Amino acid sequence: MKIATASYPLDVLPDWVAYEDKLTAWVSEAAEAGAELLVFPEYGAMELATLAGLDIARDLETSLFAVADRLPDADALHAHLAAQFDVHILAASGPARHDDIARPVNRARLFAPGGAVGVQDKQIMTRFEAETWNVVPGDPLQLFDTALGRIGILICYDSEFPLLGRALADADIILVPSVTEAVSGYSRVRIGAQARALENQCVTVMSSVVGEASWSEAVDISTGAGGIFGPPDRGFPDTGVIAMGTLNAPGWVYGEIDLAHIAEVRANGTVLNRRDWEAQSGRADPVTVVTLA
């Protein structure tokens, strides 16, 4: 299976047709390269706020709802492109309205070519989301059975938490859409994605927003790169890095994976991290404090 993961720049969109053209060009390029799974980044949908005008896009509060208002149209476009090009697409996440929660949630949507759609909300908010932007956690984690294998989604900061990763231990592929301002943030998410691949003996796919968007306080500067990771074990690269983009270089990053290698490493790897997860409990809790004088 060939995967395309995005290092995605945000644009000021003069009209809806510009967005249609941009997304169609991205999807077409990846499909023509043979990719079956396309992964867009966290908050990549924020460029939809520019359709309401730059004054709206610049305002943290109004931009949330401007994007939420456009998500149904964006979803219809993604569904159309998934069917047209016969690919699975993880749409760029964005603020979405929730029927039972007053504030917006950060929501990613997974589109299958046959028309099925999976929805995943972010679980744990960053300080900016919680303290400044007032974006809130949404519905719990899910696993999606697809023609490409079992897929889970950990949105950006969620990838830094082992227990969230463990909840997706039955996933063959964990998608990690992200947006990070600095190299330090990018490194945290990349390390988190690699750690989840290690402990779950699966493939993780990180996408990133890249470049400047001076019209948005939320995503004004973004540093990152797409990457595809596996456990450093038989059937995978010794580094665990299947593919890695150049930092801040826009475009697709491609990598090929084989689900048989995931099954093999889980059954007969040099180590069996996924199986041995439970062995931690008896050895790490409780911890005895020893004073060394």
* Helix, strand, coil percentages for the chain (3-state, nearest 5): 40, 25, 35
User: pLDDT tens-digit profile of 119-159?
Assistant: 999 999 999 999 999 999 999 999 999 999 999 999 999 99
**Which pLDDT band holds residue 172 (cuts at 50, 70, 90)?**
very high
Cis before 286? omega within 30: yes
In the chain, which residue ranges form alpha helices assigned H by DSSP?
16-32, 54-58, 60-85, 127, 162-167, 183-200, 259-268, 281-284
Is beta strand 143-146 parallel, antiparallel or unpaired with respect to 149-153? antiparallel
Q: How much is the average pLDDT of 53-71? A: 97
Residue 76 has pLDDT above 90, yes or no: yes
Q: Hey, how many other C-beta atoms are within 10 angstroms of the C-beta on 251?
A: 18
Three-state secondary-structure class, residue 12? coil
40-71 exposure pattern, b = at least 16 Cβ within 10 A, e = fewer:
bbbbbbbbbbbbbeeebbbeeeebbebbbebb
Nearest residue to 159 via CA among 97, 243, 229: 229
pLDDT of amino acid 201:
98
pLDDT of amino acid 280:
84
Nearest residue to 133 via CA among 64, 55, 52, 54: 64
**Which pLDDT band holds residue 284 (cuts at 50, 70, 90)?**
confident
CATH: 2.30.30.100, 3.40.50.300, 3.40.50.1370, 3.60.110.10. Which one for 2-284? 3.60.110.10
Nearest residue to 167 via CA among 189, 141, 185, 187: 141
**Would the CA dihedral through 210, 6, 263, 112 be positive or negative?**
positive
Please state the domain extents for the chain: 2-284
pLDDT of amino acid 293:
87
User: pLDDT tens-digit profile of 251-279?
Assistant: 999 999 999 999 999 999 999 999 999 88
